[in-house]
């Protein structure tokens, strides 16, 4: 559910939605969601002063609290 949410948000933001790849690394208590986008779309996903990335992390935090799990978003280059 969390992975799909991040994928949907990222694909809505970028110019190359086909280049969006999201993977989830499940830990015992924490899951890491890795987001990889095209190099030219990296700025769109991060946003000015990291605002877009922070907003995505906030949404992920709220959704993962509901799922009773801790999730971390990592944006890969």
DSSP, collapsed to helix, strand or coil, labels residue 22 as strand
In tens, the pLDDT along 39-57 reads 999 999 999 999 999 999 9
For residue 39, give the CATH number of its domain.
3.30.300.20
DSSP state of 59: H
Domain that holds residue 5: 1-76
Q: How confident is the model at residue 17 (pLDDT cuts 50, 70, 90)?
A: very high
Into how many domains does the chain fold? 1
Global pTM? 0.89
Return the percentage of the chain with pLDDT > 90, whole number. 83
Q: How many C-alpha atoms does 25 have within 13 Å on its Cβ side?
A: 6
CB 47 within 8 A of CB 13: no
Strand 21-26, strand 30-36: pairing: antiparallel
pLDDT tops 90 at residue 74: yes
């Amino acid at each position: 559910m969390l992975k799909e949410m991040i994928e949907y948000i990222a694909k809505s933001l970028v110019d190359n939605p086909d280049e969006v790849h999201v993977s989830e690394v499940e830990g015992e208590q924490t899951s890491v969601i890795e987001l990889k986008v095209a190099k030219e779309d990296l700025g769109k996903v991060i946003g000015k002063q990291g605002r877009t990335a922070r907003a995505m992390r906030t949404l992920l935090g709220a959704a993962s609290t509901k799922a009773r799990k801790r999730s971390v978003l990592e944006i890969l280059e």
